[in-house]
């Protein structure tokens, strides 16, 4: 009689690496292939079929990827002398003995492979949210108890604890078994799920120790707590991790740590190789263009040798070479940072302003995208909860963060950070001693004696100091610093634009930040500006302090000629005096002239090209020609026309004379607006000043008044003359000016005639006084005579203006006739 085949499964628990989370990729990298596992199961893990009882044969394998094991399906013949349970137990025992005798270890964790008989119906799932765990949850409908559970589950590994869950009505009983290691739990889950013990059905699943949805639910339900806590956590991480990186990056930017051009060895190599073949700038003439700047440069260098006490303001018209002069005067400074405000003022958005500022000062990393993300989150939370979460960062807050971090970096760089308890007089004395010591050593070195000879000379003249004197001297020396090591902050283009979003706040905060550096003697701060009102916000930031003011003017004709002939061959181009005189002493215009001539244009053509551009600038900026924007000028076209006619004839116009002109009526506002637009330049005089004898610096205290007016650029005088040569435009502007003045005088006439009419009501028809007495009072008679005099003067002016109006109209008419005839 042929016995029927029976089927069963064995579970081998160390075939794969366990996968404990979605991010665990070990099993993908280390798992063997299907065929290699099947071959390994037949040849190594399971005893040979001829050595197994009951006609044992392997049917196939089934990997369990997450659980790190595999099922081995087998068939056997059930003998009559064995029960099914006994037969399966025998097969399991033979496999265990085989593994123990051969000692199979897996190479990825160096642990043995164990074999277990599968007693239930495994739940073959691949759900992404369930992963192996040391704890398994058992559901059963009978009464097992802790002892029964221990007996059933102890076979698969050492148990840490068994916890029975309190029963719930109409729900199966539950218990939690915790193993000491995870592979015991995976074996128990795969072998006992779906089995029956004494008629009790058992289901085994992994216990989820951490429920992500619970945490997310709590966070979403408590935004008032979770959002601030999250913000504090992000701020804490930023403070602990990123702020030191930013401070180091700024420190490296200031000290030029990563600038290879500043390394001494490279400087020496450059000097000994390229420096011997090329010429380098050796004086201020080559740096700024003319020798008049030597005095200003020396004045700035003298100020930099002093301890930081106030601001230095370098002012002058656009293109006067302010930036070049400051850069040349500070080129030997060891620690320097430059903030170029033009790039910040021309930015299109607040984010671009912060990005440009961070790039200039070395604020890395910035994480600008986090600001946008925080703003979006704040808007979303406000829309859902009705209250602001406080995540969004304002422009002022982010700007303050960058500058405060820069302050820390400058403080770390500044050698004056240990001198807070030392008086400014003592600091100044020590700095002067340091400068004198440097000069003396340089003189000794140049004479050939050097420092060694000085030491030999002083060796016998000075006795050896004691240890106490040495330590006291070392402690005092640690407080002093070399003036060249004091950091310099250069703010270039300060108040280059007064209009725009956050412009006023930006300039104010920049001035307040610079004031903190100066008040704490941390660094020198130099402001470079072409705005005449730049000192106002600086005075508010640093009140009761005088500023070191340097005003750069245009070069003289001799210096301008020297500059031009330094770049152009005098023999090739001949006498260029007329061309340079027309252009004037503005550095940018002279450089443009030289570039055009070098590119192939003739000197006269180059001057005409620059002049034509200047004419277009004046027409557009002064008379609002070719303007696509609806902007309001701070002056009327006829007001500037009057100023332009004076400046076209004379190099300098009287400020007081123009201010009392009928078109201005003693108002200085139009002149300030013209100066802001760089159409004119106002000179001042009679200012009070203070001279520091010790430092040799002359500082303006104020009290200056406007005295004279010059063109905004030297070439503007030629541009004004060119505009005046346009007969049609001149006639139109003269007509507008005469018409305005005529109307103004007519208004005065109407006013005075009205007053005479009111006085006439006080007289009888025969001319006698209305209140008796016969004669008209002297006071009334004097007033009437004064009014009659004013009427006569006004009528004279009106006749003059009307004649000018008639002449201007004739000029316009004659020009129109000439244009028509020329067209025919």
DSSP codes, 381-410: HHHHHSS--S----HHHHHHHHHHHHHHHH
State residue 213's pLDDT score. 59
pLDDT digits (tens, 9 = 90+) for 247-271: 899 888 888 887 766 667 777 777 7
pLDDT digits (tens, 9 = 90+) for 509-552: 899 999 999 988 899 999 999 887 788 888 888 888 888 888 88
* Helices 637-649, 669-676: inter-axial angle, 10-degree rounding: 70
State residue 822's pLDDT score. 57
Helix or strand holding residue 676 (H, E):
helix 669-676
Question: Which burial class, exposed, middle or buried, applies to 74 when counting CB atoms under 10 A from its CB (0-12, 13-18, 19+)?
Answer: buried
462: confidence class by pLDDT, cuts 50, 70, 90: very low
> How far, in Å, CA of 159 to CA of 177, rounded?
7
* SS3 category, 215: helix
Residue bearing the bigger pLDDT, 132 or 626? 132
> What is the end-to-end Cα distance of the chain in Å, rounded?
133
86: confidence class by pLDDT, cuts 50, 70, 90: confident
pTM, two decimal places: 0.62
Non-local CB neighbours of 194 within 8 Å, separated by 6+ positions = 120, 121, 122, 123, 201, 202, 203
State residue 179's pLDDT score. 93
Angle at 344 between CA 342 and CA 348, to 5 degrees: 115
Residues of the chain above pLDDT 90, percent:
23
- Rounded to an integer, the average pLDDT of 3-30 is 78
Residue bearing the bigger pLDDT, 556 or 128? 556
154: confidence class by pLDDT, cuts 50, 70, 90: very high
| Of 121-135, 406-420, 675-689, highest mean pLDDT | 121-135
Helices (H), 108-162: 145-153
DSSP 72: E
Dig out the tokens for 714 from the structure: 């030297």
> Is the four-CA dihedral 528, 534, 535, 540 of positive or negative sign?
negative
pLDDT digits (tens, 9 = 90+) for 343-393: 888 888 888 888 899 999 988 887 766 666 666 666 666 666 666 655 566
pLDDT digits (tens, 9 = 90+) for 396-454: 888 888 999 999 999 988 776 555 444 545 555 555 555 556 556 555 555 544 444 44
The CA-atom distances, in angstroms, between 798 and each of 104, 477, 742, 805 are 121, 80, 6, 10
State residue 321's pLDDT score. 82
State residue 488's pLDDT score. 93
Q: Residue 692's closest CA among 292, 294, 310?
A: 310
The CA-atom distances, in angstroms, between 521 and each of 32, 82, 87, 418 are 70, 99, 93, 10
> How far, in Å, CA of 740 to CA of 736, rounded?
6
Range with the lowest mean pLDDT among 170-174, 483-487, 610-614, 720-724?
Answer: 483-487
- Rounded to an integer, the average pLDDT of 166-177 is 88
* SS3 category, 1: coil
> How far, in Å, CA of 303 to CA of 431, rounded?
12
Q: Residue 292's closest CA among 503, 629, 680, 556?
A: 556
- Give CA torsion, residues 515, 518, 519, 522, to 10 deg: 130
The CA-atom distances, in angstroms, between 118 and each of 97, 181, 195, 286, 431 are 17, 20, 9, 93, 90
Residue bearing the bigger pLDDT, 178 or 376? 178
> Is the four-CA dihedral 48, 50, 51, 53 of positive or negative sign?
positive
Whole-number CA gyration radius for the chain: 47
Dig out the tokens for 813 from the structure: 């008419």
Residues 500/345, Cβ–Cβ less than 8 Å: yes
State residue 763's pLDDT score. 74
> How far, in Å, CA of 251 to CA of 334, rounded?
12
Dig out the tokens for 732 from the structure: 């139109």
Sheet containing strand 680-685, edge to edge, reads 653-654, 705-711, 680-685
Question: Which burial class, exposed, middle or buried, applies to 406 when counting CB atoms under 10 A from its CB (0-12, 13-18, 19+)?
Answer: buried
468: confidence class by pLDDT, cuts 50, 70, 90: low
State residue 288's pLDDT score. 47
In the predicted structure, residue 690 carries a pLDDT above the cut 50: no
Q: What is the rounded average pLDDT for all residues in the chain?
A: 79
Considering only the C-alpha atoms of the chain, give the largest distance between any 2 of them, rounded to a whole number of Å: 168
Range with the lowest mean pLDDT among 37-46, 148-157, 410-419, 600-609?
Answer: 410-419
In the predicted structure, residue 243 carries a pLDDT above the cut 90: no
Dig out the tokens for 685 from the structure: 């005089």
State residue 593's pLDDT score. 92
Question: Which burial class, exposed, middle or buried, applies to 204 when counting CB atoms under 10 A from its CB (0-12, 13-18, 19+)?
Answer: buried
State residue 214's pLDDT score. 64
State residue 406's pLDDT score. 92
State residue 456's pLDDT score. 43
Neighbours of 644 (CB within 10 A): 27
Non-local CB neighbours of 324 within 8 Å, separated by 6+ positions = 287, 288, 289, 587
pLDDT digits (tens, 9 = 90+) for 543-589: 888 888 888 888 888 888 888 888 888 888 888 899 999 998 888 88
């Amino acid at each position: 009689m042929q016995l029927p085949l029976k089927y069963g499964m064995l579970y081998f628990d160390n075939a794969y690496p366990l996968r404990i989370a979605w991010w665990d990729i070990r099993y993908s990298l280390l798992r063997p292939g299907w065929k290699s596992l099947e071959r390994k199961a037949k040849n190594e893990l399971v005893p040979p079929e001829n050595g197994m009882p009951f006609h044992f044969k392997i049917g196939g394998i089934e990997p369990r990827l997450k659980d790190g094991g595999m099922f081995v399906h087998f068939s056997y013949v059930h003998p009559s002398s064995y029960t099914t349970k006994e037969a399966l137990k025998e097969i399991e025992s033979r496999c265990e003995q085989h593994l123990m005798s051969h000692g199979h270890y897996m190479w990825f964790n160096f642990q043995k492979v164990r074999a277990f008989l599968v007693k239930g119906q495994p739940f073959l799932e691949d759900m992404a949210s369930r992963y192996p765990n040391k704890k398994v949850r058992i559901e059963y409908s009978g009464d097992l108890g802790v002892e029964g559970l221990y007996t059933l589950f102890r076979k698969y590994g050492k148990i840490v604890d068994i916890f029975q869950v309190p029963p719930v009505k109409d729900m199966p009983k539950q218990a939690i078994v915790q193993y000491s290691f995870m592979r015991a739990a995976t074996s128990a889950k795969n072998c006992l799920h779906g089995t029956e013990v004494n008629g009790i059905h058992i289901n085994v699943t992994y216990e989820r120790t951490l429920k992500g949805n619970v945490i997310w639910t709590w966070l979403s339900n408590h935004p008032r707590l979770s959002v601030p806590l999250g913000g504090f956590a992000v701020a804490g991480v930023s403070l602990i991790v990123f702020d030191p990186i930013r401070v180091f990056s700024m420190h490296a930017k200031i000290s030029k740590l990563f600038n290879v051009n500043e390394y001494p060895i490279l400087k020496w190599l450059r000097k000994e190789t390229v420096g011997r073949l090329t010429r380098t700038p050796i004086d201020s003439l080559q740096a700024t263009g003319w020798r008049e700047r030597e005095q200003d440069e020396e004045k700035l260098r003298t100020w930099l040798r002093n301890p930081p006490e106030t601001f230095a303001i370098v002012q002058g018209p656009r293109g006067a070479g302010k930036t070049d002069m400051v850069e040349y005067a500070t080129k030997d400074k060891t620690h320097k940072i430059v903030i170029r405000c033009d790039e910040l003022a021309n930015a299109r958005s607040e984010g671009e302003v912060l990005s440009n500022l961070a790039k200039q000062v070395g604020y890395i990393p910035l994480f600008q995208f986090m600001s946008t993300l925080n703003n979006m989150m704040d808007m979303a939370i406000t829309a859902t909860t009705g209250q602001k979460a406080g995540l969004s960062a304002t422009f002022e807050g982010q700007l303050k963060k960058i500058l405060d971090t820069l302050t820390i970096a400058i403080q770390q760089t500044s050698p004056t950070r240990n001198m807070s308890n030392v008086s400014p007089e003592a600091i100044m004395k020590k700095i002067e001693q340091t400068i004198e010591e440097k000069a003396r050593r340089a003189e000794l070195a140049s004479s050939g004696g050097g420092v060694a000879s000085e030491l030999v000379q002083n060796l016998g003249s000075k006795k050896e100091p004691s240890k106490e004197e040495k330590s006291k001297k070392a402690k005092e020396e640690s407080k002093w610093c070399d003036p060249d090591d004091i950091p310099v902050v250069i703010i270039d283009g300060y108040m280059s634009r007064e209009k725009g979003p956050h412009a006023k706040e930006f300039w104010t905060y920049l001035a307040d930040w610079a004031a903190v550096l100066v008040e704490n003697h941390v660094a020198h701060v130099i402001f470079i500006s072409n705005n005449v009102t730049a000192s106002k916000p600086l005075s508010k930031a640093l009140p009761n302090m005088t500023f070191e003011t340097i005003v750069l003017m245009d070069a003289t004709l001799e210096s301008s000629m020297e500059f031009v002939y330094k770049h152009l061959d005098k023999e090739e181009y001949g006498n260029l005096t007329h061309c340079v005189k027309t252009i004037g002493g503005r550095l940018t215009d002279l450089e443009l002239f030289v570039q055009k001539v070098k590119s192939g244009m003739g000197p006269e053509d180059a001057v005409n090209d620059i002049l034509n551009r200047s004419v277009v600038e004046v027409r557009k900026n002064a008379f609002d020609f070719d303007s696509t924007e609806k902007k309001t000028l701070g002056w009327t076209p006829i007001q500037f026309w009057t100023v332009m006619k004076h400046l076209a004839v004379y190099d300098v116009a009287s400020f007081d004379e123009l201010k009392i002109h009928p078109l201005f009526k003693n108002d200085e506002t139009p002149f300030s607006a013209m100066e802001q637009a760089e159409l004119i330049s106002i000179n001042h005089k009679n200012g009070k000043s203070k001279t520091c004898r010790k430092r040799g610096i002359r500082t303006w205290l104020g009290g200056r008044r406007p005295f004279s007016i010059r063109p905004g650029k030297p070439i503007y005088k030629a541009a004004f003359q060119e505009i005046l040569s346009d007969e049609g435009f001149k006639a139109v502007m003269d007509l507008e000016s005469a018409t305005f003045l005529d109307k103004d005088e007519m208004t005065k006439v109407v006013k005075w005639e009205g007053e005479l009419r009111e006085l006439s009501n006080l007289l009888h028809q025969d001319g006698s006084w209305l209140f008796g007495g016969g004669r008209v009072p002297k006071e009334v008679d004097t007033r009437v005579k004064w009014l009659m005099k004013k009427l006569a003067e006004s009528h004279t002016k009106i006749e003059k203006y009307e004649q000018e109006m008639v002449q201007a109209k004739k000029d316009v008419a004659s020009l129109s006739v000439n244009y028509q005839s020329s067209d025919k």
